[in-house]
Amino acid sequence: MTKETATLAGGCFWCTEALFKRLKGVIWVVPGYAGGTEENPSYEEVSTGNTGHAEAIQIEFNPDQIPFEKILDIFWHTHNPTTLNQQGSDFGSQYRSVIFYHDEKQKEVAQKSKKDLEMEKLYPDPIVTEIIPFSSFYLAEDYHQNYYDRNRDKSYCTFVIDPKIHKLLAEYKKDVKEEYQN
């Protein structure tokens, strides 16, 4: 099986992990921190906005089942790429929108994808998503792993993540693993 890695930041990593783990062809997804200079940062350090890291997810996927282009399409349509350092009520540079490319092919695909989205004029405001080279990824603490699936009754999950899951099911149902379609 062919495997590739994608690293994305689109706001709270609880949201992005919950969405991307539901996709056919995704082998695993983990939340963590990327884009900063601090080595092995903690959630508390990243939350200050002073580490340069964004809350991110790392995805291992089978490109024969879900190409990088599809991952980016879902990324663009499940968060707001026009808000600088913010997603919903989450504020700070740790919530910025970033595509961390792992090679030149991913860079080209990401740039084309962003340009196509801008030409589509889906969003009235300019897209502020950064497309930058991947350098490092630090796994988030254990209590962040699979947060949504372990805490569905928490208000953040109910009011923030659930609507994103419903949107994913409405717009990308054929791409969602069967066990997550209800």
**Active-site annotation holds for 157:** no
The DSSP code sequence of the chain is ---EEEEEEES-HHHHHHHHTTBTTEEEEEEEEESSS-SS--HHHHHTT-S--EEEEEEEE-TTTS-HHHHHHHHHHSS-TTSTTEETTEESGGG-EEEEESSHHHHHHHHHHHHHHHHHT-SSSPP--EEEE---EEEPPGGGTTHHHH-TTSHHIIIIIHHHHHHHHHHHGGGB-GGG--
Of the candidates 12, 99, 110, 160, the residue annotated as catalytic is 12
Q: Which residues are catalytic?
A: 12
